[in-house]
Amino acid sequence: MRAVRFHEHGGPNVLRVDEVDRPNPGTDEVLVEVAAAGVNPVDTYFREGSYTPYDIPAIPGVDAAGEAATVGDGVEDVAEGDPVYATGLSMAMPGGYAEYVAVPTDRLAVLPDGADLRAAGAAGVAAVTAWRALIDHGGLRPAETALVHGGSGGVGHAAVQVAAATGARVVTTASPDYHDRLEELGADVVLDYDRDDLADAVAEAAGGDGVDVILDHRLDDYLQFDADVAAQGARVVGIGENDPAIGLDRSSDARSKDLQVTLMSMFNTPRLADPLADLATLWSDGNLEIDVARSYDLEEAGEAQRAVMEDSFLGKLVVEP
């Protein structure tokens, strides 16, 4: 089969397409014929060497979706031909930038019939991170207000939908080009993140009582902002590569608000199959869409990884074998 691999750490140019053996699924694994694999910033961290892959040469790609081609002898809940999607690949095993990938059942879920496999291939990291941040760590409840920084990003546009599905009021930030689409996805208020009065606008959008749950991918820049707009007992969840060690202004009233700040990584999820299954239910109910901005073939994987770090777009990028 054809697969993208890197034989050394470096820039996007180290990615190349190789002919490799098709994997044989283990007892508790599913061999997935890959329809699409999401392109995520974390894929570039493995390639560069800031995150350690399972081995070199390595196949990147934390996400994948496709059809179950073969199931291991111990697999009970997946049948051959089922549409499936997965995440958490490439750190301890080959990833999704390939024609086939063998996936353990603890990081895979069955999709509803007719699901868009191209979009599902882009869903894993983004949707599971959003779910873990808002539901598992943030404890978002109906009638609360959620603030999603960067609603046009991969995690951001999934988080807007997860938050809306809970019945919460959803406030997000994005450049004006993406406001209409984010409203279609369930945002109640979309604000330009460049506006000078952003804190006041967020407070107004939250009804004056502050925001209950905040999803932030840049705590190093926005931790003080989050504290300022937070409601009493608010929960702030930080994702991504950031360092909030700068702390808060001494004059901040964050302590009096009983503000809770959590730093999370999707890779710490006890069993990735569980949020994937919950999200598949949202998908089935029509409450989750993953926008695919651009698609690349295997030979263009290097360009896809460059674009995910440098370009502006709404949603996700995918590689399609």
Residue span(s) of the chain under CATH 3.40.50.720 come to: 126-266
Could you tell me which of 303, 268, 299, 279 has the C-alpha nearest to residue 65? 279
pLDDT tens by residue, the chain, 321 residues: 999 999 999 999 999 999 999 999 999 999 999 999 999 999 999 999 998 888 899 999 999 999 999 999 999 999 999 999 999 999 889 999 999 999 999 999 999 999 999 999 999 999 999 999 999 999 999 999 999 999 999 999 999 999 999 999 999 999 999 999 999 999 999 999 899 999 999 999 998 889 999 999 988 888 899 999 999 999 999 997 666 665 666 656 667 888 899 999 999 999 999 999 999 999 998 999 999 999 999 999 999 999 999 999 999 999 999
pLDDT digits (tens, 9 = 90+) for 51-97: 888 889 999 999 999 999 999 999 999 999 999 999 999 988 999 99
What local confidence, expressed as pLDDT, does residue 250 receive?
Answer: 61
3-state secondary structure of 137: helix
* CB distance 169 to 188 below 8 Å: yes
Kindly state the tokens that stand for 86: 């997965």
Q: What are phi and psi of 150, to 5 degrees?
A: 65, 55
3-state secondary structure of 150: coil
CA 245, chain centre distance (Å): 24
Residue labelled with tokens 């061999």:
31
CATH superfamily of 126-266: NAD(P)-binding Rossmann-like Domain (3.40.50.720)
Q: Which CATH class is domain 2-123+290-319?
A: alpha beta
Residue span(s) of the chain under CATH 3.90.180.10 come to: 2-123+290-319
Count of positions (residues) in the chain: 321
